[in-house]
């Protein structure tokens, strides 16, 4: 799978399929979040949260695929870190060193 994700960075057709898969997953995440919140359907907040989860999953996998040789944290760690950043919203920005800091 990682080879396909790596190829998606340079192959437009494969990139389109990768992004389409994530586009199709987003409403599924939104429905699951709405159900968990006891809502009959996703509202704006739930839809934004679903988009953040979706983007974090995509970027976490892409980051790991691009850095797997140098990154000793592993796949699960990269995805977990990406989801943690999304869960923090915009209250922190990850600096180049990976340490969070408060936005002014």
The per-residue pLDDT for range 33-87, each reduced to its tens digit, is 999 999 999 999 999 999 999 999 999 999 998 887 655 568 888 899 999 989 8
Looking at residue 28, which CATH number applies to its domain? 1.10.357.10
As for how many domains the chain has, the answer is: 1
User: What local confidence, expressed as pLDDT, does residue 72 receive?
Assistant: 52
Rounded to two decimals, the pTM is 0.76
**Per-residue pLDDT for 97 more than 50?**
no
- Give the closest residue to 53 by CA, choosing from 22, 99, 91, 19: 22
Task: Characterize 19-32 residue by residue with b for buried, 16 or more Cβ atoms within 10 angstroms of its Cβ, and e for exposed.
Answer: eeeeeeebeebbee
18/23 Cα distance (integer angstroms): 9
**Per-residue pLDDT for 4 more than 90?**
no
Give the domain extent around 26: 2-102
């Amino acid at each position: 799978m990682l080879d396909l994700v790596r190829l998606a960075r340079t192959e437009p057709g494969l990139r389109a399929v990768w992004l389409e898969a994530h586009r199709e997953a987003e409403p599924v995440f939104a429905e699951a979040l709405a159900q968990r919140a006891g809502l009959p359907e996703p509202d704006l907040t739930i839809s934004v949260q679903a988009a953040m989860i979706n983007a974090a999953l995509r970027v976490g996998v892409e980051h790991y695929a691009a850095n797997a040789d140098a990154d000793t944290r592993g796949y699960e760690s990269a995805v977990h870190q990406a989801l943690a950043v999304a869960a923090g919203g915009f209250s922190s920005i990850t600096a180049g060193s990976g340490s969070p800091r408060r936005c002014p």
